[in-house]
């Protein structure tokens, strides 16, 4: 029964049967007898039996395995590998079908390859998820045929595996490695000139060429009889909170991924950078009420906790209530902290409704409002209008773009820092702002 279940008829078999039937009809009409037809049927049966023997006489003709990470990274290209090893003693042709999760909506994932006897081959392809959650992979189906190609044998590997899609840990590792190797400027992160001295003293060391002469410690110099200087370090243990708006304004998609997921990915990266800079990182999510509140800390497992909190975020994209955020922060965060608010304002009137709460937050903490530029509107404003309809569209797009700039000015007028960014540059611009604020000793 297993042989019958794994047996597939090839196109060549149907062509051969059709050819024999045509010859049979032709000889029957001409009265030439049935000998030729019988010989063809016998020959076809012999070739078919030979093809079957070549495919099924090896009990374990092929070994395969799908290889992928235990979790996928949201918004990134994740590599998937299919390893194949042939145990046949004859060359084989393979058609490989991988049953990928339905979220990708792809039905064209097919690979065709040729394998020599006793060889191995690895197929590699990439998948880009755009939503967090669990993704169910099916089986890897392989149809094996010989040079004759009359029938094919099916193999199934790596059946039914569920893989979670987490916030972009690939981006997190990328920026972490760049920060360690001091190559952040290669990704667009600016090198910020430090203003003045930090207030946190680290140690006294011997003067070397290039040290600032204003840091000379004259008492230590007199005791050591050689020039000694004070060395300072970045102020540590500052609290950095990422406030993520999960309301309807964050539902807008960009390249298949919602603004909310872009904010979640950026939060993961900036939290990791803050901890590497010896600061404390925390997360608050909200819409009509507070979703999650993770206090800022610099524990060994803080990043793992942040990743789990971000992965489990659910939202109905309701209207955002900033009064809940203000009251929660006032009640739970007593130390002056850096608040990175990921939200979106499409109009100046939308800002004015929330501005009193933002001003109140800005009095007790260093608030940075991060909202998004509509890149599709930018495309409309950049193109040349040739018809009356295009002129109207361009004028409306310019009006909305102008309102975004008004929002930035309004926030600055009240002493609130802001970032207006496109979604793809969100992470880089957020890191730049964090490093800038650190360099200016504002946190």
- Domains annotated for the chain, with CATH where assigned, are 1-166 (2.60.40.10), 169-193+235-439 (3.40.50.410), 202-233 (no CATH)
Q: What is the per-residue pLDDT for 186?
A: 53
218-239 mean pLDDT: 77
- Total Cβ atoms within 10 A of residue 361: 22
Q: What is the per-residue pLDDT for 21?
A: 57
Question: Could you write out the three-class secondary structure of the chain?
Answer: CHHHHCEEECHHHHHHHHHHHHHHHHHHHHCCCCHHHHHHHHHHHHHHHHHHHHHHCCCCCEEEEEECCCCEECCCCEEEEEEEEECCCCCEEEEEEECCCHHHCCCCCEEEEEECCCCEEEEEEEECCCCCEEEEECCEEEEEECCCCCEEEEEEECCCEEEEEECCHHHHHHHHHHHHCCCHHHHCCCCCCCCCCCCEEEEEEECCCCCCHHHECHHHHHHHCCCEEEEEECCCCCEEEEEEECCHHHCCEECCEEHHHHHHHHHHHHHHHHHHCCCEEEEEEECCCEEEEEEEECCCCHHHHHHHHHHCCCCCCCCCCHHHHHHHHHHHCCCCCEEEEECCCCCHHHHHHHHHHHHHHHHHCEEEEEEECCHHHHHHHHCCCCCHHHHHHHHHHHHHHHHHHHHHHHHHHCCCEEEEECHHHHHHHHHHHHHHHHHCCCC
Compute the distance between CA of residue 86 and CA of residue 54 in angstroms, rounded to an integer.
Answer: 13
Average pLDDT in the chain: 84
HSE of 206, CA atoms in CB hemisphere, 13 A: 3
Report the share of the chain in percent with pLDDT over 70: 83
Compute the distance between CA of residue 20 and CA of residue 142 in angstroms, rounded to an integer.
Answer: 30
- Total Cβ atoms within 10 A of residue 200: 11
Lowest pLDDT segment from 53-67, 99-113, 227-241, 256-270: 227-241
Compute the distance between CA of residue 313 and CA of residue 285 in angstroms, rounded to an integer.
Answer: 8
Q: What is the per-residue pLDDT for 23?
A: 55
Model confidence at 1, pLDDT cuts 50, 70, 90, reads very low
Q: Where is mean pLDDT largest: 136-145, 172-181, 430-439?
A: 136-145
Q: What is the per-residue pLDDT for 33?
A: 52
Residue 280 contacts residue 239 (beta carbons within 8 Å): yes
328-345 mean pLDDT: 94
Q: Is the pLDDT of residue 311 over 60?
A: yes
- Total Cβ atoms within 10 A of residue 300: 8
Q: Is the pLDDT of residue 378 over 80?
A: no
Compute the distance between CA of residue 295 and CA of residue 311 in angstroms, rounded to an integer.
Answer: 17
With b meaning 16 or more CB within 10 Å and e meaning fewer, what string describes 332-360?
ebeeebbbbbbbbbbebebbeebbebbeb
Q: What's the CA dihedral at 303, 308, 313, 314 to 10 degrees?
A: 180
From residue 358, alpha-carbon distances to 239, 347, 438 in Å are 18, 16, 21
Lowest pLDDT segment from 179-193, 214-228, 329-343, 414-428: 179-193
Q: What is the per-residue pLDDT for 200?
A: 56
299-319 mean pLDDT: 93
8-15 mean pLDDT: 55
Q: What is the per-residue pLDDT for 10?
A: 54
Lowest pLDDT segment from 37-46, 107-116, 242-251, 323-332: 37-46
**Higher pLDDT among residues 292 and 40, named by residue:** 292
**Higher pLDDT among residues 56 and 249, named by residue:** 249
279-283 — which CB contacts under 8 Å span 24+ positions? 279/236, 279/237, 279/238, 279/239, 279/240, 280/237, 280/238, 280/239, 280/240, 281/240, 281/241, 281/242, 281/306, 282/239, 282/240, 282/241, 282/242, 283/241, 283/242, 283/244, 283/309, 283/310
Residue 88 contacts residue 117 (beta carbons within 8 Å): yes
Q: What is the per-residue pLDDT for 329?
A: 96
Q: What is the per-residue pLDDT for 158?
A: 83
Compute the distance between CA of residue 321 and CA of residue 290 in angstroms, rounded to an integer.
Answer: 9
Which residues 6+ apart lie within 8 Å of 322 measured at CB?
354, 357, 358
**Higher pLDDT among residues 242 and 228, named by residue:** 242
């Amino acid at each position: 029964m297993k042989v019958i279940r794994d047996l597939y008829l090839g196109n060549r078999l149907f062509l051969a049967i059709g050819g024999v039937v045509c010859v049979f009809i032709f000889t029957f009409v001409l009265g030439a007898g049935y000998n030729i037809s019988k010989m063809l049927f016998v020959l076809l049966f012999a070739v078919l039996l030979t093809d079957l023997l070549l495919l099924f006489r090896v009990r374990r003709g092929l070994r395969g395995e799908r290889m992928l990470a235990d979790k996928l990274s949201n918004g990134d290209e994740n590599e998937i590998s299919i390893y194949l090893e042939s145990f046949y003693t004859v060359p084989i042709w393979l058609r490989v079908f991988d049953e990928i999760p339905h979220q990708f909506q792809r039905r064209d994932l097919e690979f065709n390859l040729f394998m020599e006897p006793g060889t191995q081959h690895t197929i590699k392809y990439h998948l880009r998820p755009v939503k967090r959650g669990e993704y169910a992979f099916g089986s890897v189906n392989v149809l094996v045929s010989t040079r004759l190609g009359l029938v094919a044998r099916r193999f199934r590997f790596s059946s039914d595996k569920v893989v979670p899609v987490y916030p972009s840990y690939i981006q997190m590792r990328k920026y972490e490695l760049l920060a360690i190797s001091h190559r952040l400027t290669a990704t667009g992160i600016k090198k910020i000139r430090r203003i003045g001295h930090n207030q946190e003293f680290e140690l006294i060391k011997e003067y070397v060429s290039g040290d600032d002469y204003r840091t000379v410690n004259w008492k230590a110099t007199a005791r050591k009889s050689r020039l000694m200087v004070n060395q300072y370090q970045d102020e540590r243990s500052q609290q950095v909170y990422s406030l993520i708006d999960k309301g309807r304004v964050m539902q807008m998609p960009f390249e298949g991924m919602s603004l909310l997921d872009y904010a979640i990915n950026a939060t993961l990266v900036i939290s990791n950078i803050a901890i590497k800079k010896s600061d404390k990182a925390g997360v608050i999510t909200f819409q009509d009420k507070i979703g999650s509140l993770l206090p800022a800390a610099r524990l060994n497992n803080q990043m793992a906790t942040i990743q789990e909190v971000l992965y489990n975020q659910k939202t109905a994209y309701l209207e955002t209530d900033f009064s809940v955020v203000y009251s929660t922060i006032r009640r739970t965060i007593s130390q002056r902290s850096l608040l990175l608010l990921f939200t979106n304002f499409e109009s100046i009137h939308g800002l004015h409704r929330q501005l009193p709460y933002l001003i109140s937050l800005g009095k007790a903490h260093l608030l940075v409002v991060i909202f998004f530029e509509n890149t599709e509107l930018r495309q409309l404003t950049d193109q040349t209008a040739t018809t009356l309809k295009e002129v109207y569209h361009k004028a409306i797009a310019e009006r909305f773009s102008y309102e975004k700039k008004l929002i930035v000015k309004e926030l600055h007028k009240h002493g609130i820092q802001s970032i207006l960014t496109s979604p793809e540059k969100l992470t880089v611009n957020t890191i730049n702002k964090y490093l800038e604020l650190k360099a200016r000793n504002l946190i």
